[in-house]
Structure 1
């Protein structure tokens, strides 16, 4: 079958299986879609839906036990499925390239980035040594890597996350491919770097006419980047549409549920986020009928017993749902969407007292830089440089900023996980540094941490009973039968079953593991939880469940949170106040509504403008910051932001601005609002 002149790739009924001792597991079941020259197609869905496996199947980059067993992958009239290993290698990197999610694990740490770009070119083209280096330099300039002449000889660990991702894009573009497959290319990046990478991909696409398959769970990125969207669930395509139609009027209940579970800029923080009950089914235990029916609020008996085909809803739009059947549409037999009544959260009465719980003043943490045999200190990394903040009882303070600005270090200093260089941490009237050992233990019992990656923070060799029960024994709160009862209560509180206590972490999904992490943190009945990127690794549907849970616990138990994140939509939804941090310093603090409505500091404005909006009808007026975050070992003089600020003045380069009250509850550290500007 020949492709039409515009179609670059056509995938037809592709099936991918993984061979195991118990039999074949079908990870991709009959996926079909096409992409034209210069088009961007997004593949979306929850973890375990088959997004990445579909993308890897196209280039046959599966694990040794994975295989595309049927269907067609037509690229320029070639069926990639039938090519041998040598033939597919000629396609990879040359005509179809891939950008992976984590550049640090994909780049070889012992080779310079220049060598790695050159290696890709050498496989497909016969060029001289000088020509190869010249091409590598051109590519680094093309992707906007600063100072490419010196960076070409740098190693991956010497670059920031955003820079490494640019190198990955340079490698992908090395042989000017017609198609790029980007697997979660912006997931691990800050909003500012994410905005730069998205803009770079758009520019390259318009310049070279490259087609892009974008695999992501970030629907904001999809709305801004994609022309067409393929929604996959449990290895099958459940909806396919142009991006505007999909966001304006989703047809499949799964698509609609995904879109409703995202916290947006205008989401009412007093409303619960809509969630999708249950989890994506296991490959070993697929439900009969429609695979989404156990989680679908519209499911009928027919859905449970008969698998729907892909119905054509309109031109270039399909849906795998019985509600899209023309006969059902004609008879108007569509069942009503049984929406759970998402009730409002109760009024947080704990906030009314405005009782101070945590007071941090001029907190500093300098890590020494040592050199030589004698390890002499030759400088310091100023990770936290004079941070002051406070949290009242029952309050959520959001802490936002780019990676490397010191957010997580602040959290660790407050809990006493690391010692501060200077400054004070006062918790409920007690100073942490002057407290004796017994008092410190009592304070740490009342401050607990919820980490970003629940899998790495839970001991894989311990049962859930021992994981949650460990802090109870450390603080002599419960032992034996009492411990089991308390663990059972904690599991019920976070929405799990007491029957789960004898299982191990690997037996749970990502969202369930995060619930276990929260249960462990709640074991000592704390007053303050420090949530360090607690929902950033989760799907939007699971993220909604955890955010609802955190808000419920706050109201029920009077908890306070320091909520550290780079996802500003999430921070706005959960926070009462937000502190913006840049290079170890707080630059703005105000209530969440005011910050997003009228940010004052230029850095806050840039952060908020960079947030991808999950609405393709809205054109964002984005502020792209020039340059990079300076090194904390050698920060700029004066205002640390002046090297990237579009409004920088001479005074910014010489004099450090103070954190001042501009209005009630709104403080800013910027010369634009200083005395020199008022006079």
Structure 2
């Protein structure tokens, strides 16, 4: 049952069902979804992966795979039922009156056509203009979405643009025919917080300028809090709660909504407390539970929940909830267990009391050569890492943050020896990796392991879990045969999986389970340092909470140290003891996590923190939007590399490179605002 909407609805979805035909039978991916949206309104659709968010959005425009079909219900756009239109008729609607912004702009943009041609192609389908008018419209759109230097960029190819620029092009294509409704499917998920803030502001500006309605499909509740007017929470193909955004965040009604909100790490989350997790996974479409679909994971589930499916109960304040506790005739106590009641406090980290340095990186550089011509002569270098110095103590988590392309992942790969450095030293447990003899180096690298961002691409799909986790055991002569099998079973249990899982293949696991397997493999050699490269960025908030709790448990139990690389500052703040901020191959600020978020010194760190989306619609964040683009690492600016985008840049910043200096004990920063040069005039 949709929310009551006093203003005329632009789009009204009523009891929509979407079915996919498979060899195993028909699967209902969307089961009776209803909601409405008015002109100039933003409705967010949220839920975990597999809940039916994207399928619901694709169903509206009938962009489903050939085996998918909207079988029943209504999709009323200006009172025209899109479900009953022919293919030719729906094509006239797509792009013209309803447009879509897809999640990954690189795979959605054609690599063999310029971005100008791709914008013009969209306009040509719906409008008949002259060649000059087409180009003028494309330029106007690129200016509208804030693409720098649109006159030259109109002839650029997608690979020549950054991720944020490609996303702006996708928005320009969506706006090409000035649609009344835009469906944005995870439009900011793969973007840095600074670019994400720019895209969110851009969508808000365009909405206020043209009165465009937006359906926002996302799992980022911070983005929802800042962008949405209404929220539709979906689970296992059904709407479980629908409400105005402030009501939903202030008083979540459905247990699933409550669990989602409690599982997000926030900037003010106590680092010593466990994150709330949701047990289990979203059910498979082949095995939908009886009764309430959420009951196997719900801490409030009763026998009635297990046997009878609740209807959508209408409540006060224009909201609905698909839960028996919303039944006005319901009796009994329905209190969601809080984190505190779940023994949620981590033990004290005793390993940090000794303050022994485990890893020391000194002036580390990696310059990739740029070659040209038949003879492949070196004509320049990409300075991916340009003089990084950091240290990690035993039992410590050091967070490494910065925008994409700043060199975070390259630092991780240099430390582990996955790539060779151009210059600098990596010292692990007082032994220099570069000068250690081969056998000693192998032993040292055994004690440093890597957890990759995408667990699916880093696990061999043709190997069983036993072979995947067991491989490093054999390589380092730790265990073979029966002993290997026992060690793999032990490792699986450490990361919260079953020993029976060792005979399965990676495709038989969910994303969160695959990440646990990646962690188990990294733990196989009993390392002392784990380098986690965006280890939770591809996961739902509920699964992310489980992995973060697991990493903290392992840190305390095994005395592990982490280099935690991420662009999600909420996550980094929660898990890290100290944080290093990186920009264009250099460290610009290092301090403990609490201090960095309360009193950041470097203007770049201030901009990063101000751009973090806050999952609280009652707070109006003060954004520090950075101007310009990240300079090319092949031709970085002179002086301070950040001066081209810095709101506080002075003349000295353009001429002299600042040194990384200690301002107060434990807080270092590389900025002329805090240097002696300023005092000397």
Inter-CA distance 478–645: structure 2 relative to 1 (3 Å threshold):
same
> TM-score under structure 2 normalisation?
0.98
Matches within 5 A, 1:133-144: 133-144=135-146
Matches within 5 A, 1:141-220: 141-220=143-222
Matches within 5 A, 1:102-117: 102-117=104-119
1:335 Cα deviation (Å)?
A: 3.2
Please tell me whether the aligned partners of residues 43 and 229 of structure 2 are also in contact (alpha carbons under 8 angstroms): yes
Deviations 1:155-194 (A, max 9, x none): 0000000000000000000000000000000000000000
Unaligned runs of 5+ in 1: none
Secondary structure at 1:166's aligned position in 2?
A: helix
1:353 has 2:354 as partner: yes
Please tell me whether the aligned partners of residues 275 and 344 of structure 2 are also in contact (alpha carbons under 8 angstroms): no
1:677 Cα deviation (Å)?
A: 2.9
Matches within 5 A, 1:125-136: 125-136=127-138
Alignment partner, residue 481 of structure 2: 480
Whole-angstrom CA distance in 2 between matches of 1:531 and 1:579? 14
Alignment partner, residue 676 of structure 2: 675
After superposition, the CA RMSD in angstroms is 0.9
Secondary structure at 2:366's aligned position in 1?
A: strand
Please tell me whether the aligned partners of residues 97 and 177 of structure 2 are also in contact (alpha carbons under 8 angstroms): yes
Whole-angstrom CA distance in 2 between matches of 1:315 and 1:632? 53
Residue of structure 1 aligned with 2:264, choices 259, 262, 265:
262
Secondary structure at 2:384's aligned position in 1?
A: strand
Secondary structure at 1:455's aligned position in 2?
A: coil
Secondary structure at 2:172's aligned position in 1?
A: helix
Matches within 5 A, 1:274-423: 274-328=276-330, 332-339=331-338, 341-423=342-424
Alignment partner, residue 558 of structure 1: 559
Whole-angstrom CA distance in 1 between matches of 2:544 and 2:344? 18
1:23 Cα deviation (Å)?
A: 0.7
Please tell me whether the aligned partners of residues 274 and 342 of structure 1 are also in contact (alpha carbons under 8 angstroms): no
1:66 has 2:68 as partner: yes
Matches within 5 A, 1:221-260: 221-260=223-262
1:341 Cα deviation (Å)?
A: 1.1
Please tell me whether the aligned partners of residues 589 and 666 of structure 1 are also in contact (alpha carbons under 8 angstroms): yes
1:403 Cα deviation (Å)?
A: 0.1
Alignment partner, residue 85 of structure 1: 87
Deviations 1:353-377 (A, max 9, x none): 1011000000000000000000000
Whole-angstrom CA distance in 2 between matches of 1:200 and 1:306? 45
Secondary structure at 2:234's aligned position in 1?
A: strand
Please tell me whether the aligned partners of residues 33 and 230 of structure 1 are also in contact (alpha carbons under 8 angstroms): yes
Alignment partner, residue 621 of structure 1: 622
1:333 Cα deviation (Å)?
A: 2.4
Whole-angstrom CA distance in 2 between matches of 1:19 and 1:303? 29
Whole-angstrom CA distance in 2 between matches of 1:103 and 1:50? 21
Aligned length: 674
1:342 Cα deviation (Å)?
A: 3.6
Residue of structure 2 aligned with 1:31, choices 7, 30, 33:
33
1:334 Cα deviation (Å)?
A: 3.9
Secondary structure at 1:326's aligned position in 2?
A: coil
Whole-angstrom CA distance in 2 between matches of 1:412 and 1:22? 44
Deviations 1:62-111 (A, max 9, x none): 00000000000000111000001000000000000000000000000000
Alignment partner, residue 549 of structure 1: 550
Secondary structure at 2:479's aligned position in 1?
A: coil
Please tell me whether the aligned partners of residues 488 and 501 of structure 1 are also in contact (alpha carbons under 8 angstroms): yes
Secondary structure at 1:404's aligned position in 2?
A: coil
Alignment partner, residue 601 of structure 1: 602
1:313 Cα deviation (Å)?
A: 1.2
Deviations 1:528-551 (A, max 9, x none): 000000000000000000000000
Secondary structure at 1:272's aligned position in 2?
A: coil
1:5 Cα deviation (Å)?
A: 6.2
1:631 has 2:618 as partner: no
Please tell me whether the aligned partners of residues 273 and 342 of structure 1 are also in contact (alpha carbons under 8 angstroms): no
1:337 Cα deviation (Å)?
A: 2.9
1:582 has 2:583 as partner: yes
Secondary structure at 2:590's aligned position in 1?
A: strand
1:443 Cα deviation (Å)?
A: 1.0
Whole-angstrom CA distance in 1 between matches of 2:344 and 2:120? 58
Runs of 4+ residues over 6 Å off in structure 1: none
Please tell me whether the aligned partners of residues 468 and 487 of structure 1 are also in contact (alpha carbons under 8 angstroms): yes
Unaligned runs of 5+ in 2: none
1:27 Cα deviation (Å)?
A: 0.2
Alignment partner, residue 511 of structure 2: 510
Whole-angstrom CA distance in 2 between matches of 1:358 and 1:653? 33
Deviations 1:493-523 (A, max 9, x none): 0000000000000000000000000000000
> TM-score under structure 1 normalisation?
0.99
Whole-angstrom CA distance in 2 between matches of 1:78 and 1:395? 59
1:49 Cα deviation (Å)?
A: 0.1
1:639 Cα deviation (Å)?
A: 0.1
Please tell me whether the aligned partners of residues 590 and 666 of structure 1 are also in contact (alpha carbons under 8 angstroms): yes
